[in-house]
Chain A
Amino acid sequence: EVQLVESGGGLVQPGRSMKLSCAASGFTFSSFAMAWVRQAPTKGLEWVASISYDGGNTYYRDSVKGRFTISRDNAKSSLYLQMDSLRSEDTSTYYCAKVDWEPFFDYWGQGVMVTVSS
């Protein structure tokens, strides 16, 4: 059974940093791309970043380029999102998602809330 468990969320002040983690199990982690998708309170879904199976390629939405860094550790079956220079508009639930062989998301974690506020 595929399981994705996020951690690391909470309350952070604007301009500060936070790192999210996602522990994966139930599939061969090193064979699949992974992604982060977020959802602001009462809003829709928004793709944030993706990383290839080997970490060699990363992709970001424009609004987080230069501030967020997606990474992975295949030995630990873990995905990360380093978020720097956080803004109030980054306040969201962040979901870790497994990417299928085509770039859609077939499994999702339960999500972790990040609140950016002073």
Chain B
Amino acid sequence: IQLTQSPSLLSASVGDRVTLSCKGSQNINNYLAWYQQKLGEAPKLLIYKTNSLQTGIPSRFSGSGSGTDYTLTISSLHSEDLATYYCYQYNNGFTFGSGTKLEIK
């Protein structure tokens, strides 16, 4: 399964509601996770099984979707959310998307 993330680059302001998209080449059956990677750091798990929030992750992060189309939403952007975000499917093999780089205006 291939994953296509859009946009590849997103610029937003602190306080904005931000939506990142991930589209699979086949049905993912909700076996989708989201990771945040800050510059120079290891990835961090944010969301698993489409909409389950990992322990310790702020509630401004949420996930949704079904079938082939999934979304990560940040309800109110914080400056520390500057990072690249990757979706990852584990329904059929293990595949990461190419990432969305989130910039703060």
Contacts and interface: CB of A to CB of B under 8 A. Distances in A.
A45 B43 CA distance: 9
A110 interface: yes
A104 B42 contact: no
A102 B45 contact: no
A111 B49 CA distance: 25
A78 interface: no
Contacts of B48: 100, 102, 104, 106
Nearest to B95: A47
Interface in A27-41: 35, 37
Nearest to A50: B94
Given A45-B96, A102-B49, A104-B90, A111 B42 contact: yes
A2 to B, nearest CB: 11
A5 to B, nearest CB: 11
Contacts of B54: 106
Nearest to B45: A106
Contacts of B86: 44-45
B36 to A, nearest CB: 11
A108 B42 contact: yes
Interface in A98-118: 100, 102-111
Contact of B90 (A102, A109, A110): A102
B42 A46 contact: no
Contacts of B90: 102-104
A101 B49 CA distance: 12
Nearest to B98: A44
A106 B99 CA distance: 18
Interface in B61-79: none
Interface of A: 35, 37, 44-47, 50, 95, 100, 102-111
Closest 5 CB pairs of A and B: A47-B94, A108-B42, A45-B96, A104-B33, A103-B90
